[in-house]
Amino acid sequence: MGNSRLYNKLAIAKVELVKDNVVVEVVEDVLVKEYVVSVSVNGLEIRRYIISEDMVKEFVVGNLYSMGLIRNLGEIVEITINENKVNVKVDSEVLKRITAFTTTPSCGDQVVPEEEKTLKVNVKVKVYAKEVIEAIKQVFEKSWIFKITGGVHTASLYSITESKTLVTVEDLGRHSAVDKVIGWGLLRNIDFSQIAIATSGRVFSDMVIKAVRAGIPLIISKSAPSYEAVLKAREHGITLVGFARGNRFNVYSEPYRIAELEKIELR
pLDDT single digits (tens) 120-155:
898 889 999 999 999 999 888 888 888 887 778 999
**Residue 219: its pLDDT value, please?**
98
- Specify the CATH number for the domain of residue 251: 3.40.140.10
pLDDT bracket for residue 20 (50, 70, 90): confident
CA distance 106 to 39: 19
94 shares its domain with 175 = no
Can 202 be counted among the known catalytic residues?
A: no
CA distance 267 to 253: 9
Of 3-12, 56-65, 166-175, 182-191, the poorest mean pLDDT is in: 3-12
**Residue 106: its pLDDT value, please?**
43
Q: Which residue has the higher pLDDT, 52 or 266?
A: 52
157 shares its domain with 209 = yes
**Residue 113: its pLDDT value, please?**
59
226 shares its domain with 156 = yes
Domain-located, residue 123 = no
Domain-located, residue 53 = yes
Count how many domains the chain has: 3
H/E segment holding residue 211: helix 205-214
Q: Which of 107, 166, 224, 231 is catalytic?
A: 107
Which residue among 111, 142, 176 closes a domain?
111
Q: What is the mean pLDDT of the chain?
A: 87
**Residue 7: its pLDDT value, please?**
53
Domain-located, residue 201 = yes
Domain-located, residue 119 = no
24 shares its domain with 59 = no
**Residue 116: its pLDDT value, please?**
63
Domain-located, residue 213 = yes
20 shares its domain with 137 = no
pLDDT by residue (tens digit) across 102-112?
443 345 555 55
144 shares its domain with 184 = yes
pLDDT bracket for residue 27 (50, 70, 90): confident
238 shares its domain with 164 = yes
| Mean of pLDDT values over 8-28 | 72
139 shares its domain with 255 = yes
24 shares its domain with 99 = no
Of 86-90, 150-154, 249-253, the poorest mean pLDDT is in: 150-154
**Residue 103: its pLDDT value, please?**
43
| Mean of pLDDT values over 27-43 | 88
157 shares its domain with 174 = yes
Domain-located, residue 170 = yes
219 shares its domain with 256 = yes
Helix (H, G, I), strand (E, B) or coil at 33: coil
Residue-range definition of the domain harbouring residue 247:
129-261
Whole-structure pTM value: 0.86
Residues 6+ apart with CB under 8 A from 31: 10, 11, 12, 13, 149, 151
DSSP secondary-structure letter at 55? -
Domain-located, residue 208 = yes
Q: Is the pLDDT of residue 51 over 70?
A: yes
Phi, psi (deg, nearest 5) at residue 137: -65, -45
CA distance 90 to 79: 9
- Specify the CATH number for the domain of residue 70: 3.10.20.10
137 shares its domain with 257 = yes
Domain-located, residue 58 = yes
H/E segment holding residue 245: strand 239-245
